[in-house]
Amino acid sequence: MTVIEIAKRAGVSIGTVDRVLHKRGRVSEDTRKRIQDIIDEVGYQPNPLARHLKRNKRYLIGVLIPELEKESRYWNLIHQGIAAAVEELSAFSFTLASFPFTRPDRNSLAAAFDKLVDAECDAWIIAPVMQEETLILLMGVERKVPYVLIDSPLPGSSAISTVAQDPFRGGCLAGRLMELISHSGGPYAVIRPYIEAYNLNERVKGFMSWFERRPEVRVLDVICSESDMVETNNILDRLIGETPDLRGFFTVSAIGHKIADFVVARGLKDSLSIIGYDLVAENVARLKGGQLDCLISQRPEEQGRLAVQQIYHHIVLEDEVLSQIDMPLDIFLKENIV
C-alpha cells in the first residue's frame, strides 16, 4: 500500500499521512490514530531510499585518521578503501573531508578534531589510535554526530559501529605463530612504537598471554619510536647486547620492515624470527625476500569500505547497523604472498 492509498482510505491529505509517518507537524489525535491504525494493519514501511532521492540530500563524511604518508603509508590504504566506497555511492551525493593529524601529537589531534567538528559533517569515521585523548574529545562534543570507529575499538565510546580486528586475538595468534616459526623457547621481544593505542597494547597483551602457560619463556616489552630509527636502533642494539639469546621479534604495527632491516644489517636473521603486521609495500617486499617470516593483515581497504557502508545504512537507509565488525586475522607467509 502506498502513501496515496493510505491517505485515500483515511480520508485525509497525503501531507497529513506524511506528518504522521515522520512524527512532525500538527495532527489531531483522532486523525493520527486513524492513520496509524491503517499503517499498522497493512504493515506499511516508509522507503528511506526513495525519500533521500526525492530530497536530493548531500552527505559529508569527515575522516579523522593519522597522516596518510606516515607509518609506512598504512593509513593511505585505509583512506583508499574509504574513498573507493564513497565513489561507489556517488549517486547518493557522498563526499569526503579529511582531517589528518600527527601521531602521537596531542595538540595535532585536538586541532584536527576541532576542524572536524566545525565542518558540520553528517557522519564521521575516526581512527582512535590515541585512546584517552580521542575519548575525551568525543565526550566533549555537544552536537551528536553518528560516527564509525576504524582500525581499533575504543572502550567507552558511543560509536554506531566499530570496524576492526580483535587485537587481543591478533596478539595470541602472533604468539602461536612465533612458537611454530622460531622452533625455540624464546626469549622473544614485542616491539611497539606507540603506547597510547588500545589495539597495539592489546596485541602486546595477547602475545604475552599465549606464553603464560610456559612461564619459562621470557617475553620482553620494547617501546621505541617509529619516526626516530636512530634511537630505535640504539634501543635494539642494547637489547641484543643484554639478551644475546633472543630468538624473535613481534612488531605490533607496520614497523616490521624497519626491524627486519636492523636484524639483517646486524647479521642476525638466521637466529631471529620476525612476525609483523600489515601488508604495506615495504613489509610485502621483506616477506618475499625472506627478511620477514610472517605478516598478519587486517584488510585496511576493506575496513574503509565497511565503515562507509555502515554510515550509508545508518543515515540513508535508516537501518540498524552492526555495532561491531570483526576483521579476519589473515596470515601471510613467503609462500602465499602475491
The pLDDT confidence band at residue 88, using thresholds 50, 70 and 90, is: confident
- The yes-or-no verdict on residue 325 having pLDDT over 90 is yes
Give how far Cα 141 sits from Cα of 87, 114, 117, Å.
29, 10, 8
Point out which residues pair with 162 in neighbouring strands.
149, 324
- The yes-or-no verdict on residue 1 having pLDDT over 80 is no
Helix axes 167-182, 198-210, angle to 10 degrees: 40
CATH value of 167-297 in 3.40.50.2300, 3.30.499.10, 2.60.120.10, 3.90.1150.140: 3.40.50.2300
C-alpha 47, offset from chain centre: 30
More confident residue, 92 or 177: 177
- The yes-or-no verdict on residue 2 having pLDDT over 80 is no
Cell, residue 314: 545508518
Q: Please tell me the predicted confidence (pLDDT) of residue 5.
A: 79
Indicate the residue type of 174: A
Extended beta strands in 166-322, E state = 188-192, 219-223, 248-251, 273-277, 294-297
The pLDDT confidence band at residue 7, using thresholds 50, 70 and 90, is: confident
- The yes-or-no verdict on residue 52 having pLDDT over 70 is no
> Measured between alpha carbons, how far is 46 from 57 in angstroms, rounded to an integer?
17
- What are the tens digits of pLDDT across the range 277-289? 999 999 999 999 9
- The yes-or-no verdict on residue 173 having pLDDT over 90 is yes
Fold type of domain 3-46: 434 Repressor (Amino-terminal Domain) (1.10.260)
Domain with CATH 1.10.260.40 in the chain: 3-46
Q: Environment class of residue 296 by beta-carbon count within 10 Å: exposed (0-12), middle (13-18) or buried (19+)?
A: buried
- What are the tens digits of pLDDT across the range 204-262? 999 999 999 888 999 999 999 888 899 999 999 999 999 999 999 999 999 999 999 99
- The yes-or-no verdict on residue 54 having pLDDT over 70 is no
Weakest mean pLDDT among 130-139, 145-154, 273-282, 314-323: 314-323
Q: Please tell me the predicted confidence (pLDDT) of residue 56.
A: 60
Cell, residue 82: 574509504
Domain with CATH 3.40.50.2300 in the chain: 54-164+300-327, 167-297
How much is the average pLDDT of 162-169?
A: 97
- The yes-or-no verdict on residue 186 having pLDDT over 80 is yes
Indicate the residue type of 36: Q
More confident residue, 128 or 9: 128
- The yes-or-no verdict on residue 79 having pLDDT over 80 is yes
The pLDDT confidence band at residue 47, using thresholds 50, 70 and 90, is: low
> Measured between alpha carbons, how far is 222 from 238 in angstroms, rounded to an integer?
11
Average pLDDT across the chain, whole number: 92
Give how far Cα 168 sits from Cα of 50, 130, 200, 207, Å.
42, 17, 9, 8
CATH class for the domain made up of 54-164+300-327? alpha beta
> Measured between alpha carbons, how far is 305 from 161 in angstroms, rounded to an integer?
13
More confident residue, 56 or 133: 133
How much is the average pLDDT of 111-127?
A: 96
